[in-house]
Amino acid sequence: MPSLKDKVALITGAASGIGRESALLFAEKGASVLCVDVQMEGAEHTVRDIKSSGGKAAACRADVASAKDCEAMVAAAEREFGKLQILFNNAGIMHSDDDTSQNTSEEVWDLTMRINLKGVFLGCKYGIPAIKRAGGGSVINTASFVAHLGAATPQVAYTASKGGVLALTRELAVIHARENIRVNALSPGPIRTELLMKFLNTDAKKQRRLVHIPMGRFGEAREMAQAALFLASDMSSYMTGAEFLVDGGITAAYVTPE
């Protein structure tokens, strides 16, 4: 089984969804976890749950689109736990006004790019040097299945941002491969998180997405956390520059299942 004993992890977007479930699981597997989110109350809730189960965690507020905040969150991980070996750039948004190119405003486009793509860049900008100081480790960047498929429900900014995350992940993996630093992308399929459920805000929208998933259901945040655990652990020691698609088969489907 994957183990993160004596490892230190920083997870953005740790207040809810995939980030929260990953923080809980990483701590369960032995890691000390810095739970980062712009929503401090949610991050602190995650920390309380970890500590109540005997784990080690601390909370940190950061806007991942801010260089100052990203530098500070990495410094907080090293200050709190002495090192950083696992960086999970998971924070992201899916704006309800993200639509077609004609209907998506420039403001929604820019906001999505700042958080979903620039946030990953800044996390790596400050996090990778810390991982190098610790002797190596793993970077996980959250992309999405929509980097491969046009979405049935238009969301051009989100889709483009996640394609950028994949490209950035590959280049960083090559740059740092000889430094014992692995960089991989986790690409979830449609997941039953507050983020997606708010975007697919009608039964018709949910069904339009569900009909394309061969497994016939939305994934769960805990299932994505288990995939992130594999990428964080030494069980994936020969993986870098890779994409881990965990999508219920949606990217394998050519026709809509009966």
By annotation, the residues acting in catalysis are 158
Q: CB of 169 within 8 A of CB of 117?
A: no
**E strand or H helix that includes residue 88:** strand 86-89
* CA dihedral sign of residues 154, 155, 159, 162: negative
CA triple 50-118-162, angle to 5 deg: 80
Q: CB of 143 within 8 A of CB of 251?
A: no
């991982």: which residue's tokens?
131
The helix/strand/coil state of 131 is helix
Whole-angstrom CA distances from 32 to 6, 27, 57, 78, 87 are 7, 6, 5, 11, 12
Q: CB of 27 within 8 A of CB of 56?
A: yes
